[in-house]
Structure 1
Amino acid sequence: MASGRGVVPPWEEASAAPAFVKDKIKAAAKALFDQIASGTVSYGSRLPSERDLAEELALTRDATRQVIDFLESYDVVRRRPNSGTFVAYRAKPAPKLGATRLTTDGLLDISAIVDAASPFEFTIVRSIVEPEMVRLAAMYMSASDLRNLSRLAQRLVEIVTEAAEFAELEREFLLTVSTGTHNPVLISMYSVVDAIRRQPEWLRIRAQTLTPSRLTDERNKLQSLYEALAARDVETAVEFMKLIVADENDVVVARG
């Protein structure tokens, strides 16, 4: 993972207004900023509780509050009432050698999008796209599509503890649902989501979230989703997809 130590904090930039805080507050803010700039604490993720953060930074609760105030004044973090403090800063990705927005044949090159996507941004897109993708699939999946999905659902049922294998099959299951919409625009859009899911780092994060009890729960939801799709039960399928997305997103963003 890239280091954030070479990134200049906003308060050290030439255009920044001087901030009058104690050196220890600024030093703690810099330590936390380095984690954010490196991606160790990613854009959109929630910071630890004030008590845990105070312990991590070896500060009092009052001093920790000052650190958060300081970072918030430079838009590095943002407080949300009754929700916590979230990362608002995002470092600009380094230009990728040879990458362009379009390929030579005029098609969109999604590699830059995949490289730059944060867990927070990814979860937002999934929340928007996947429930409606399922709605279309429930209406338009062919008998052949459903047979393919049935085979994947059966393989998922057989997985008991292999989290990495489950994460890969889950990706394949959802990709099959997308192709079952028979909507070329949506299929093309979902190819970006699938490209992100194929990244080793994403698969690793997903596998880490799949404890044995959670794996059983996710497997049951996917099985119920398949059954709703096979029954052409549009609204039930959509509700199960929303549950799957919400449960996964909560865990991934918390770990993000």
Structure 2
Amino acid sequence: MPLQAVESSRLYRQIADQLRGLIAGGEFGAGARLPAERDLARQLGVSRPSVREALIALEVEGWVEVRTGSGIYVQQSAARAPARSPANGQAEWGPLQVMQARELVEGEVAALAARNAKKAQVAGIAAALDQMEASPQEGDEAFHQAIAAACGNEVLADTVRGYWGARHGPLFSRLGDHFDTPASWRAALGEHGAVLDAIRARDTEAARAAMQQHLKKATARYSASWKRAKQT
């Protein structure tokens, strides 16, 4: 059964559904290697990041195994779980789309924080950056949440909290398993420092640019070749 081009709505889930159907129908047997990410993207008429999100969803469900530097392999049926159905009926956000949304929104949030943050709030942002050195994941979240709290707009602060709710989901967790490294956390720490410096200086343009640059680079790290994953 050939792959079919998919529409953009909940794209990664549609791709995962197609691939799952092909595996269940015997098109790819247990132990078989799936076509390369770039080939799947071409056949489906979608971007490689969308294919990556779909493959990670299937890995979470136990349908495939990602072997870094080797490929994507079909798991035995005993390892497979049913497709996830979120309690609220809404498909889990794709990690890379969340990152794209964060770049748009959190750049403005940082700019507002540079203008509106009180002295104690700036100190809280700095404390979160210090926390990140000892505990990267917890400090990362605390840093972005502290900036959102300092922006002066509760709707935007709630929006950022929603992004971090998505970050705690299984797709983001597995993406981090593959692509978070000591080197990537060191890079993120420096990028966060640039955001903090701009907020301290009350420079809205610099804060916006620094946050956008950080999130662009974070997205690029998550979009890296599988062969580059876990290299430091």
Q: Does structure 2 retain, via aligned residues, the 8 Å contact 1:77–1:88?
A: no
Per-residue CA deviation, residues 172-204 of structure 1 (Å, 9 max, x unaligned), is: 110111011121111122221121123354245
- The amino acid across from 2:193 in the alignment is Q
Q: Distance in 1 between matches of 2:189 and 2:53?
A: 35
Aligned to 1:209: 179
Any stretches of 5+ residues in structure 1 without a counterpart? Answer: 1-25, 42-54, 59-63, 100-111, 160-164
> Conserved in 2, the CA contact under 8 Å of 1:137 and 1:229?
yes
User: Distance between the aligned counterparts of 1:131 and 1:34, measured in 2?
Assistant: 28
Letter of the 2:149 counterpart:
T
Change (3 A) 1:152 1:207: farther
Aligned residues: 179
Partner of 2:102: 126
> Which aligned pairs between 1:157-196 and structure 2 lie closer than 5 A?
158-159=133-134, 165-196=135-166
Flag the 1:37–1:228 CA change in 2: closer, same or farther, 3 A: same
* AA matched with 2:99: T
State the shift of 1:88 in Å: 11
Distance 2:157 2:195 in 1: 19
Give the TM-score of the pair, scaled to structure 1.
Answer: 0.56
Q: Return the alpha-carbon distance in structure 1 between the equivalents of residues 202 and 18 of structure 2.
A: 42
How far apart in 2 are the matches of 1:87 and 1:123? Answer: 16
Shift of residue 250 of structure 1?
1.6
CA contact (8 A) 2:167 2:173 kept: yes
In 2 relative to 1, CA 167–38 (structure 1 residues): closer, same or farther, beyond 3 Å? farther
123, 130, 134: which one aligns with 1:154: 130
Contact 1:167 1:207 in 2 (8 A): no
Q: 1:77 to 1:85 in 2, by over 3 A?
A: farther
Are the aligned partners of 1:139 and 1:234 in contact in 2 as well (CA < 8 Å)? yes
- Which digits, 9 at most, give the CA deviation of each residue in 1:207-248, with x for residues without a partner? 543322222221111112112111112222112111110011
Calculate percent identity across the aligned residue pairs.
18
Residue 138 to residue 85, structure 1, CA distance change in 2 (3 Å): closer
Relative distance call for 1:137 and 1:207 in structure 2 (3 A) is farther
State which structure, 1 or 2, has the greater radius of gyration over its C-alpha atoms.
1
| Aligned residues: CA RMSD | 4.0
**Distance verdict in 2 for CA 1:255–1:145, change over 3 Å:** farther
In the alignment, the residues of structure 1 paired with residue 121 and residue 159 of structure 2 have an alpha-carbon distance, to the nearest angstrom, of 19
Alignment correspondent of 2:27: none
* Ranges in structure 2 where 5+ consecutive residues have no aligned partner: 5-11, 21-32, 58-82, 227-232
